[in-house]
Structure 1
Amino acid sequence: FEGCTGLTSVIISDSATWIESRAFKDCTGLSLVNIPDSVIEIGDEAFEGCTGLALVNIPDSATEIGRRVFYGCTGITAVCMPGSCAWKYCEDNGIQVKEIG
């Protein structure tokens, strides 16, 4: 789906265990992503350049988060559990986080 500017939302299957590198890179119309608990790996640059992305839910199960996954996603907020790999990734990369619950 890389570069698919008309894509506004995605439903990731509950059986998916990873999101491929660059899968949604530069999908500028994408605004909301809910990553299911089944996902353990998010590949490099998976959502890079998704300038319309405002909210992403990242589960505790995501323990492998690649480089520049949300690079260029200005105004994004990640919803995740404090102390999780996702929380640390967001803090280390200047991404606003909101606590689950």
Structure 2
Amino acid sequence: MLLFGGVNEVNGDPLTYKVVGDTVTIKDCKETASGALAIPSIYEGKPVTRIGDWAFYGCTKLTSATIPDSVTGIGYAAFSKCGSLKSIDVGEANTEYSSEDGVLFDKNKTVLIHFPAG
């Protein structure tokens, strides 16, 4: 669906992508998503650079998420209400984020971003 000014929103099972110019944001995830989810680093030839606010909200069957090196922004409460989420793993070369024992931190591990409840 073409929105405005080159913004395109596309549903890709189970993720919804928002394409703006040369970058892509994960906007939403279907609540029926389950198991391990690897967020792609590229979508339609463009880098996935952001996970939007509330993107995975209520995905109660999601057990793990892998964030690629290309993601440099994670929105507010992106993984809220994911009761089965046990781990979030981040690519080693990611410049903004890191993970340890499945817990999501900023790159320097000085800011806790999300501690999975599962």
Q: TM-score by structure 2 length?
A: 0.56
Q: Which has the higher contact order (CA 8 A, sep 6+)?
A: 1
Instruction: Evaluate the alpha carbon distance shift between residue 58 and residue 12 of structure 1 in structure 2; reply closer, same or farther with a 3 A threshold.
Output: farther
**Higher share of residues assigned helix:** 1
CA RMSD of aligned residues (A): 3.0
Sequence identity percentage: 29
Amino acid at match of 2:98: W
Q: Between Structure 1 and Structure 2, how many residues are aligned?
A: 83
Instruction: Work out which of the two has the higher radius of gyration on C-alpha atoms and give 1 or 2.
Output: 2
Aligned pair partner of 1:30 in 8, 33, 36: 33
Pairing 1:1-101 to 2, within 5 Å after superposition: 10=14, 17-20=24-27, 23-24=28-29, 27=31, 29-31=32-34, 32-37=36-41, 38-76=47-85, 77-82=87-92, 84=94, 85-87=96-98, 90-91=104-105, 92=112, 93-95=114-116
What TM-score do the two structures reach when normalised by structure 1? 0.64
5+ residue gaps, structure 1, are: 1-8, 97-101
Secondary structure class of the residue paired with 1:87: strand
